[in-house]
Structure 1
Amino acid sequence: MELPLIPGRECGPCVECCRFIPLDLPELSKPTGRLCGYCVDGAGCSVHAVRPQTCRTWFCVWRVVELDTAWRPDVSGIIVRPDGLLTGEMTLYVVRRTEFLRSDLLFDTVAQWLGEGLRIAISVPGPVGTLPVRADVTEFLLPAVGAGDEAGFVARVEAVLASLDAHEFEADGIEERYSVV
């Protein structure tokens, strides 16, 4: 999905999509949760000039929407997936539990999105090589957001994460393969 990028906003040392987004392409195949073999942790792609088209066009929402720097995935622990931008759904792919999950910024942003009529989903990765799981949490979060209850919001987010963590994860079936030239 090609979306316009915010000028001057770069991934920097963030490589979370290179770690947590599964790829199964002819030239590059890597399971969920494993850092791409072409990625240098904290520095980025070592084959940037010849990377696959998917890697050229897929960006997290932090790169395409005006969000605070605290939302950058390596800082927040959340990759906001772009997949639902055109359909009105924001998926918070929680790849690491950080204090950001308890922040006013998360609460305020989710409240704003809900107020704009967007749906909210939360997703988590399982063990390396398994598909992530997700749940639409819009209706579950609305009572806390509507009441301005940040503590209740955090408790609901934590309950969703605990429930997703207990899910039986399915193997992604992806075998690593690197052939970018």
Structure 2
Amino acid sequence: MSLPLLPDRDCGGCVECCRVIPLDLPELAKPTGQLCAYCVDGAGCSVHAIRPQTCRTWFCLWRVVELSDDWRPDRSGVIVRPDGIDRGEITLFVVRRTDFLASEAFFTTAALWLAEGMELALSVPGPVGTYPCRAVVTDWLRPAVEDGDWPGFIARVEASLDRLADHDWQPDGIVARYEVA
């Protein structure tokens, strides 16, 4: 899915999607959680001009919707995934826990999405080469949001992430292959 990007917003040094998103394309394959060999950590793609179409059209929602710079994945530790948005779902892929997850900005935005009727899911990465784990947490988070209970909301998010991290990880079966030319 390709969504219109916000003007004047680019990835900058953020390469989180280049690290955590698996690819299994004819010209490029990389396991989940492995930084793409074409990616320069903190700088971006070294084959940007000839990168595969998937890399040209997949963007996190930070590039698409009005979220503060605190939401940029390399700062927040959260990739807001675009897949599912057309079905009213937002997946927060928590690639690493940061102070942002306990922030008022995180609580306020999640509360707004829930108030708008969006389904909210949390996802966490497993070891390199395994599929991430995901769970819809809308009903679990809603009581804290409706009560305006920011600390309770954070506690529920933390409990959800702890439970997801205790998942039985499944291998993605992707063997790294780099043939972009």
Same fold (TM > 0.5)? yes
Question: Partners in 2 of 1:103 and 1:172 — Cα distance?
Answer: 33
Q: TM-score of the superposition, structure 1-length normalised?
A: 1.00
What amino acid is the match of 1:170?
A: Q
Q: CA RMSD in A?
A: 0.4
Q: Deviations over 1:53-96 (max 9, x none)?
A: 00000000000000000000000000000001111101000001
1:156-175 deviation per Cα after TM superposition (whole angstroms, max 9, x unaligned):
00000000000100000000
Tell me what 2:126 maps to.
Answer: 126
Report matched runs for 1:153-168 at 5 Å.
Answer: 153-168=153-168
CA positional deviation for 1:43 = 0.3
Aligned counterparts of 2:87 and 2:51: Cα–Cα separation in 1: 28
Length-normalised TM-score, structure 2: 1.00
CA distance in 2, matches of 1:132, 1:121: 12
Identical pairs, percent:
68
Gap regions ≥5 residues in structure 2: none
SS of alignment partner, residue 87 of structure 2: coil
Amino acid aligned to 2:103: S
Q: Structure 1: which 5+ runs fail to align?
A: none
The residue that corresponds to 1:83 in the other structure is: 83
Partner of residue 39, structure 1: 39
Give every structure 1 segment of 4 or more consecutive aligned residues whose post-TM-superposition deviation is greater than 4 Å. none
Q: 1:70 — aligned with what?
A: 70
Give the residue type in structure 1 aligned to 2:38.
Answer: Y
- 1:140 partner SS: helix
Counterpart residue identity of residue 80, structure 2 = V
Aligned to 2:115: 115
Counterpart-to-counterpart distance in 1, 2:40 and 2:112 = 35
CA distance in 2, matches of 1:38, 1:117: 39
